[in-house]
Structure 1
Amino acid sequence: MRSTSSFFHFLIQKCNRKTRRKLKFSKELLVVDSTKIIVGIGQLPWAPLKGTRAGVKLNVAFHPSVGQPHRVIQSTGNHHDFRSSEELFDAAIINVADRAYAKCKRFDEYV
């Protein structure tokens, strides 16, 4: 089984120029995901989670063709991903994200 990091790199490799030409994508791809960094409550008392833990979350929109982040949003660890999606997503780019960023209302907008 692949780790999250190696799976992410595998997906990025599949989004190369040859694949985009073969699939005839008219736009660039933007990969969106988040990671939570958890520490003891004493280190981040302003970002409590559960019990004696605290944490921050980084939501990242990554541009595979450039190999750099497009946008990064930081928040407390209990901030839900879909709240950051409006700031991360770009209408001029095909956005690829997991279901944590999904809103039924957004699917209606796509139609």
Structure 2
Amino acid sequence: MSRIFLALLLFMFVTKISVNGQLEEWCIADEQTPDNELQVALDWACGKGGADCSKIQKDQVCYYPNTVRDHASYAFNNYFQKYKKKGGTCFFNNAAMVTQVDPSHNSCHYEYMP
């Protein structure tokens, strides 16, 4: 019985559930995707994709860490949150993945929209 309780307690700490009862999900760069592929997807997301990439520009709150992977994660998530209710996905030519762990760090906040 105590194992089940501990497992449930751990699940509750790891998984965030929004006010309306849905699991909170963010879109981030897949760790296995090479930087050159992430850069292509990042360029699309910030360009034709319509993501707001202003916060990953130099001297902005999400510029650091200054890596393609971190910038792509921010842009992918911004696009995903903005367009998921209109059919937008977290795919980016297989360069991204969905996570239930909030990727926000320091003062860089990754948006979540139910």
Same structural fold, with TM-score higher than 0.5 when normalized by the shorter chain: no
**Greater strand share, 1 or 2?**
1
With the shorter chain as reference, the TM-score category is: under 0.3
Query: Normalising by the residue count of structure 2, what TM-score does the alignment of the two structures yield?
Result: 0.26
The higher relative CO (CA closer than 8 Å, separation ≥ 6) is in 2
The structure having more radius of gyration, on CA atoms, is 1
